[in-house]
Amino acid sequence: MLALVVFFAGPAELLPADSISKTALKAAVKRGSELIVGKQESLGLKGAASSEWPYEGVYRVRRPGKRGGIIPVGYRVGGTAICSWALLKTPGYRSSKAAQAAVKRGRDFIVASLKDPLMSPGFNSTYDVRGWGHAYGLQFLLEARASGKLGSKRAYDEPVRKLVAALERTEIVRTGGWNYSRRGGAAKSSPPSTFMTAATLQALFAAAASGFKVDPEVVDRALDSLEDARLDSGAFQYATYPRGKNGRGFEDVPGAVGRMPLCEVTLYLAGRGKVERIRSSLEAFFEHWGELEKRRKKTGTHEPPYMIAPYYFFFAHYYAAQAIELLPTRLRTAYRQRLYKLLWKIRESDGGWNDRVFERSKSYSTAMTILAILQPGLDKPVAWKKK
């Protein structure tokens, strides 16, 4: 908390006149928090208490007795985890009973959802998003456990172990890593998604740093897959397939900037990267940001020429903010301002952010933006220390 106070209330820096001020940043976090709390809902039984912030995309699943498709539980857990995490980290959390109550309900929803068959360790057919719920559910529960604001640490141990085990059991056969889209299904090898693998690894790194046992071989295989996906240009493949590298579309730098900072940071945390690579990934992100913006709030998913999907947008900004904090101290202020100015360009009239055509996804988008804004005052992502 002290770090956040210093971030928002520290001595004024000599910044350009068009910079986003600390006052504006603080106000944006406060307004965003209010929006998120107000958008909590329930997709469960009729009349159930509002306890979740589902991420809404185009993917739906069918449930017995239900007409049409419903948002999969992996998206419901993942979105709830990200929104709960963002609220927990805000300076106003300690004084907001509404935020505290909302986060507690979110936590309880996440833990209860681990009993859902579609959150068990497994993979249905060739497309299954439960891994997003596993990864971000784990990330949030670790944050809640460490915060001291949401009950005893011991209460989190069982669900954390369950989520670590789920991720270990659902790594892709032979290649390692994770992907929500697996042409080989659960039983056969498929190319791992670089951005899902990198985000999942960061959650596992955090679990290990908190004293939980994480299989180092699972981590090594996933890290190998990330390294195998890197091109000479600095881009990363969408899914690791070294023999198929061509540098076009998905693999051209403009098509990869949404995942480059995340992948470089994750490799760096494991001793397989360099700060210079992180900075290069950020330069690429800012240079080609316009290609991400072209796809924000658009229909469809992967559109040529760079095959960028709208769901990359605020995901990319959060991990770009994370990457900035690993640069040399003297460089960070300027990079932060570059990021803030872009975020302010596309802020919505109600004070939130959204990268999808679905109103519901404003909660997730605003939460990712809050976490990006708060990065300078948060703990840096933990390194992987192989035992």
CA atoms within 13 A on the CB side of 384: 26
Give the span between the Cα atoms of 120 and 131, in whole angstroms: 10
Rounded to a whole number, what is the distance in angstroms from the first to the last CA of the chain? Answer: 31
What is the share, in percent, of the chain residues with pLDDT greater than 70?
A: 95
3-state helix, strand, coil in the chain (%, to 5): 55, 5, 40
From CA 55, how far away is CA 358, in angstroms rounded?
9
Alpha-carbon torsion 365, 367, 373, 375, what sign?
negative
Most confident of 21-30, 44-53, 301-310: 21-30
pLDDT digits (tens, 9 = 90+) for 59-78: 788 776 667 788 999 999 99
How far is the C-alpha of 293 from the C-alpha of 312, rounded, in Å? 10
Query: Looking at residues 186-209, what average pLDDT do you find?
Result: 98
Check: CB of residue 71 under 8 Å from CB of residue 361: no
- Give residue for tokens 């693998």: 197
Whether residue 3 is predicted with pLDDT greater than 50 in this model: the reply is no
Structure letter (DSSP) for residue 172? P
Question: If you search the block for the tokens 């960070």, which residue do you land on?
Answer: 332
The pLDDT tens digits of the residues spanning 92-102 come to 999 999 999 99
Domain boundaries, the chain: 19-377
Rg (CA), the chain: 20
Four-residue CA torsion sign, 33, 206, 112, 153: negative
Distance CA 154, CA 157 (A): 5
| CATH 2.60.120.10 matches 19-377 | no
- The pair of three-digit structure tokens given for residue 56, joined into one six-digit string: 């809404």
Q: Does the structure show a pLDDT above 60 at 1?
A: no
Is pLDDT above 50 for 301? yes
pLDDT band at 310 (very low <50, low <70, confident <90, very high): confident
* Tokens, residue 64: 């017995």
Could you tell me the maximum CA-CA distance found in the chain, to the nearest angstrom?
Answer: 61
- Residues whose CB falls within 8 Å of the CB of residue 290, separated by 6 or more in sequence, listed in order: none
The pLDDT score that the predictor gives to residue 66 is 67
Is the pTM above the cut of 0.85? yes
Q: What is the pLDDT of residue 10?
A: 43
**φ and ψ at 256, to 5 degrees?**
-115, -5
Per-residue pLDDT tens digits for 130-162: 999 999 999 999 999 999 999 999 999 999 999
Residue 12 has pLDDT above 50, yes or no: no
The predicted structure's pLDDT at residue 64: 67
Could you please report the per-residue DSSP string of 235-250?
A: -B-SB--GGG---SGG
For the record, the structure tokens of 203 come out as: 């959650």
